[in-house]
Amino acid sequence: MSPAYEPVIGLEIHVQLATRTKMFCGCELSFGDPPNTHTCPVCLGLPGTLPVLNARAVQFGLLIGLALGSQIAERSLFHRKNYFYPDLPKGYQISQYDVPLCSGGGLGDVRIHRVHLEEDAAKLVHVGESGRIHGSDRSVVDFNRGGTPLVEIVTEPDLTSPEQAREWLTLLRATLKRLGVSDVNMEEGSLRCDANVSVRPVGSDQLGTKTELKNMNSFRYLERGVRAEIERQIGLRQSGEPVVQETLHFDPASERLTPLRSKEEAHDYRYFPEPDLVPLVITSEMRGQAELPELPAARAERFQRELGLSTERARELAFRTELGDYYERALAGDGHDPITVANWIPLLVERIGSDADPAESEVTPEALATLAGMVAAKEVARDAAREVLTQLVADGGDPRVIIEQRGLESISAEDGGLAEIIERAIAADPDAAEQVRQGNMRAVGPLVGFVMKETKGRADGGEITRLIRERVSSGS
Amino acid sequence: MSELIDLSAAEAAKLTRAGELDPAELFDAYRARAAADELNAFTWVADAVPDGDGVNGSPLGGVPLAVKDLFCTEGVPSQAGSRILEDYRPPYTATVVAQLAAAGAPLLGKTNQDEFAMGSSNENSAYGPVLNPWDRTRVPGGSSGGSAAAVAAGLAPWAIGTDTGGSIRQPAALCGIVGLKPTYGACSRFGMIAFASSLDQAGPLTRDVTDAALLLRHMIGHDARDSTSVPFPGEIAEPNAVDLRGIRLGVPEELAGDGIEPGVLESFRATLALAERLGATVEPCTLPHAPHALSAYYLIAPAEASANLARYDGVRYGLRVDAPDLISMYTRTRSAGFGPEVKRRIMLGTYALSSGYYDAYYGTAQKVRTMISEDFRAAFECFDFIVTPTSPWTAFELGAKTADPLAMYLNDFCTVPMPLAGIPAISIPSGLSDGLPVGFQLAGPAFSESRLLDAAFALEQAIGFDGSAARR
C-alpha cells in the first residue's frame, strides 16, 4: 500500500491598488473603458520617459504591511525585471526584488513571506478562436491597465487544504477591503491569486516539487484548481512518476490543468536596481499617518467575545466587511439580541444573492433587527417572518406595518383560536393523535402541518408541537 | 553676416535684448548656415523660428539652439542616431529643451550623434559620420559630435548634448569648444532618450565659458517628472574670475601620464604652468581606482542600456520588420534597427546582468564605482579641482579606430571617472597640437559648477584660444 500524501500550499496574491492614478504616471485607473484611452508617454514606454512613484500606492502598501504585521523596510528598492512581451512596453517591469517594502508577518494561521510593490502589465487580447496566444490570428494590446499599481503578497507554504486556501483568501480579501486599498474583485482582476502546490508523504518535513497554478479568478476556481492539482500530483506520486516543476493554467470549464507556454520560458529576468528611481524611504511621519481600522480577524474575535456569536457565524459576518457593517448597524437600536439578529443576516443574504451588499438592498438594518426581535419575542411566527422578509426584500418598509396589514401576528397558546384548530387537527387524524400519545413523535408532523396550514404560518411550529403533546397526553 | 556669426551667444543675446539685433535675423543667419551644413552635423533643421514666446526680453534673447538628436522634441524627428527610431516624432518635448525654449533659446535643429550616445567618434550614427570642422578627414568626437561640430563650425551659436562617459567633454575637446557635464541630477533627464540612466546628464556645448554658464543657468532645476533630479543649490553665476589665486589644482598621476599623446601632454603642461602664473597651486594627487573606471563603466553603462533599449521592440513605434511570429518579429526588428556597436553593448550588458554572472560583473563594477567616488571625495579634501587632459589624443582620422572597439573605448579614459562619481567637469580648449584642438578638463565636487566655470573662465582668458578658423 502506498503512503498517504498531504498537500502543501502557498499563495501569491496580486492586488490592484485603488489609487486614483497609475504607479508611475498621472493616468487615471479605469476598468471597462475603451482600449488605450488612459495612456501617456510614460505608461506607453515612449523613449525618454521616466517613472515617478505614486505616493498613495506607497501609503497603501504600507497599510497592507502594517495590517499583516510585517516588518516595514525603512529603505526599500525597486528593480527592473527584464523580459520581452508585448504587454510590457518598456521591456521590463518595475518591481521590488531583494529589498521589498514589507517582510514577514501573518494573517490568521498563515505566515506572510513578503509584500512588495510593482506595476501591472497591459492587457493582451488574442483575437481568434482559442483566445490564447498560440493559435490566435493576431493580438492587440490595451494599455489602460498597464502601470496600474500592484501589491504582491506572498505567503509561506502554510496552507494544507483547498478549503483552507479558499477561506484564507476570503479573510485576506476582507482585510484588504476593510483597509480600503483595493476593489478586491476577482472577476475584474483587481485581486488575482496564483497557488504553489506540492504534496508529500504525511509526516514528512521535506517539501515536494511544486507547481504554480495560474488563472484562478474566483474563490471557487481557486479551491477547485488546487484540489485538481493535488489529485493530479498524488496520482503521479502513487504511480511512481515524478512531479515536474512547471506553471499550469487552470481551465474552469473543464477543470483541467494545462502547462503554460509563455514568457515563463525565459527564466533569467536579469534583475538590477532601477536607476530611474531613488530608494523608497518610509519616514516616521508616513508611519504615523497610516492608521489601521479594525480588521476582519479582530472583528470576528470581538463578535465572539463580546456578542457571543459562534466562531462560524462571527467569521461569516466579519470576513465580509459589508455584512459586518450591516450587522453592527442593525444592532445599533435598543434592545436587540446580537445572536438573534446575527442569525437573520444569512437569511437576508440568501434572498438578495451571496455577492450583494445588504446595505444596498431594500431592507434597512433596523427593519431586519425589528423582525428578528419580533420572532424572538414570539410576536410573529418564524414561517410568517420569512414571508415578511421576502416582502421587505422586494418592497422595503416596516415589518410591524407589514405584519399588521397582512394579519400575520402570531397566534399564541393563550389565544383560544389555536386550541380550537388543534382540536380540529386531532379530529381530522385521530390515528396520528393516538400514535403521538403512545410516544411516536414522528406522527406529530401531519398534525402540526394541519395547524400551520389553518393559521397560514402565524403560529410557531415548536409551540404547536408542545400544545398537541399536552392535549393528547391529557386524554379526554 | 560673418560678423553676426562671430558673436558669442551671450554677446548676441545681449544685443537682441537691447533691441540692437533682430532675433529673427540672427535665427535666419544660423538657419541658412545649418541648412548648408557640409559636416553632416544636423539631422534636421527648423524651417523658421518656432512660434514662441520667450524671445522678446527673454534671458536667452532668442539665440537659436542646436539640440542633440536624442532629446525628444514634439513633432520633430528624434532618432537618437538610430535606424530603429527613423523619423520617430515624439508627442512631447524634453524638459531641458522646453526650459531653454521658454528662456528664449528656440530650436534651430537636431544634431547628429552616435547611435543611442554609444561612441566616441560619431561614426556609429545610422545617419552617417560627422566631420570635424578643423579637418574634414577627422572625427569630431562623440557621442555629441554633431552638437560639437555645429558650434565649432559656427553652424549654431550654442548647443546641448549629453554626457554619459565623456560624450560632451570629449567632442568639445576634439572640436575646440567648451563642454560641461553637470552634477548628476542637476538637469532633468525627462525626454532624453536614455543610454545609461545612472550616468546620463545633459549639458552645454558652447564657444566659450560665459556661454556655457548662461545656458546651464536655464537647464538646471528639479523636475517633478525625473525622480533623480534635485533642486540646484544656488544659482549659476556669470563667470568673472581674473585669476586663480588660492585655487589648488590636483593632477592625478593615473590620468595624466601613460597613454596620453605627446602633443596633448605638452598642451596640458603648458596650461598647468599658466594656471600657476594665475596664482593656482598645482600638485600631483592620486585617484587610486581611476584606472579601473573604464572597466566599471563598460559594465554598468551597457547593463543599464540593455534594459533601456528593450523598449525598441517594434510593437508600438519606430521600426518594425514583420514576421510570422512574435519572437521573429522582435529578432528581425532589432537586428535591422540597431547598429553593431549598440548590439555589442546590449550583449555586454545582458551578459553582465545574467544570473550567475551578476555579482562578478555588475556587482563588482558597482563596488568599483563607490571606490572611485571615495577617491574623488578624498582628493577634494586637498584640492579644489582635479585637472586632466580631456582626451588622450586629438581628433583622429575617420575609420582609424572603428576596427578596434577597445582602442575606441580608451578615448574615455580621462572622462569616465567623473560621471561614475556623479561630479561635474568641464573641458575647455587649451591650444592646438599639429593644428588640432586639445582639451583641458577640470572636475569639481558635486554642485561646484559656478566655481568650476569661474576657474575655467580665468584660464580661458589667459589661454586666449582662437577658434575662428573652424568657422570659415
How far apart, in whole angstroms, are the C-alpha atoms of residue B407 and residue B256?
A: 18
Residues A305 and A452 in one domain: no
Domain B2-240+450-471 carries which CATH code?
Answer: 3.90.1300.10
pLDDT of residue A449: 86
Between the alpha carbon of residue B137 and those of residues B131, B133, B151, B171, B395, the distances in Å are 7, 9, 18, 15, 10
Question: Which residue reads 533642486 in cell numbers?
Answer: B231
Length of chain B: 472
Q: 3-class DSSP state for residue A50?
A: coil
CB contact under 8 A, A91 and B78: no
pLDDT of residue B406: 86
Residues A169 and A67 in one domain: yes
CB < 8 Å to B355, chain A: 267-268, 270
Q: Three-state SS across B159-215?
A: EEEEECCCCCHHHHHHHCCEEEECCCCCECCCCECCCCCCCCEEEEEECCHHHHHHH
Question: Which residue reads 390515528 in cell numbers?
Answer: A431
Residues A118 and A248 in one domain: yes
Residues A335 and A283 in one domain: no
Torsion angle of C-alpha atoms B242, B248, B254, B258, degrees rounded to 10: 50
Residue A330 lies in a domain: yes
A32 Ramachandran zone, left/alpha/beta (phi>0; psi -120 to 50): left
How far apart, in whole angstroms, are the C-alpha atoms of residue A443 and residue A182?
A: 56
Confidence label for A95 from pLDDT (cuts 50, 70 and 90): very high
Domain of A465, in residue numbers? 416-473
- Cis amide prior to B295 (ω within 30 degrees): no
Q: 3-class DSSP state for residue A175?
A: helix
Domain boundary among A271, A289, A307: A289
How far apart, in whole angstroms, are the C-alpha atoms of residue A92 and residue B311?
A: 8
Instruction: DSSP for B252-281, please give it.
Output: ETTTSSTT--HHHHHHHHHHHHHHHHTT-E
Domain boundary among A289, A317, A350: A289
Tell me the whole-structure pTM to 2 decimals. 0.89
More confident residue, A247 or A443: A247
CB < 8 Å to B198, chain A: 275
- Whether A125 and chain B come into contact, CB under 8 Å, resolves to no
Please name the residue of chain B whose CA is at the shortest distance from the CA of residue A135.
B325
- B433 neighbors B265 (Cβ within 8 angstroms): no
pLDDT of residue A136: 63
Residues A105 and A212 in one domain: yes
C-alpha cell at position A256: 483541467
* pLDDT by position in tens, chain B (length 472): 458 999 999 999 999 999 999 999 999 999 999 999 999 999 999 998 766 545 667 999 999 999 999 999 999 999 999 999 999 999 999 999 999 999 999 999 999 999 999 999 999 999 999 999 999 999 999 999 999 999 999 999 999 999 999 999 999 999 999 999 999 999 999 999 999 999 999 999 999 999 999 999 999 999 999 999 999 999 999 999 999 999 999 999 998 878 899 999 999 999 999 999 999 999 999 999 999 999 999 999 999 999 999 999 999 999 999 999 999 999 999 999 999 999 999 999 999 999 999 999 999 999 999 999 999 999 999 999 999 999 999 999 999 998 888 888 888 999 999 999 999 999 999 999 999 999 999 999 999 999 999 999 999 999 999 999 999 8
CB < 8 Å to A124, chain B: none
Domain count, chain A: 3
Q: What is the mean pLDDT of residues A225-249?
A: 93
pLDDT of residue A261: 63
Please name the residue of chain A whose CA is at the shortest distance from the CA of residue B71.
A48
Q: CA angle at residue B423 from B100 to A42, to 5 degrees?
A: 50
Residues of B marked as catalytic: 68, 143, 167
Residue A449 lies in a domain: yes
Instruction: DSSP for A412-453, please give it.
Output: PTTSHHHHHHHHHHHHH-HHHHHHHHTT-GGGHHHHHHHHHH
Residue A247 lies in a domain: yes
pLDDT of residue A264: 47
Residues A94 and A178 in one domain: yes
Q: Is the dihedral of CA A339, A345, A348, A350 positive or negative?
A: negative
pLDDT at A135 exceeding the cut of 80: no
- A378 neighbors A408 (Cβ within 8 angstroms): no
pLDDT of residue B354: 94
Output the domain CATH number for residue A456. Answer: 1.10.10
Name the DSSP letter for residue B381: T
Confidence label for A230 from pLDDT (cuts 50, 70 and 90): very high
Question: B431 has which bridge partners?
Answer: B438
- Whether A276 and chain B come into contact, CB under 8 Å, resolves to yes
Residue A411 lies in a domain: no
Residues A69 and A193 in one domain: yes
Phi first, then psi: what are they for A319, rounded to 5°?
-80, -10
Cβ burial of A407 (10 Å; 0-12, 13-18, 19+) is exposed
Distance from CA of B191 to the nearest CA of A (A): 4
Q: Give the pLDDT confidence of A257-299 residue by residue, as tens digits.
A: 888 765 445 579 999 999 999 999 999 999 999 899 999 999 9
CA A172 distance to own-chain centroid = 8
- A244 neighbors A209 (Cβ within 8 angstroms): yes
Residues A203 and A237 in one domain: yes
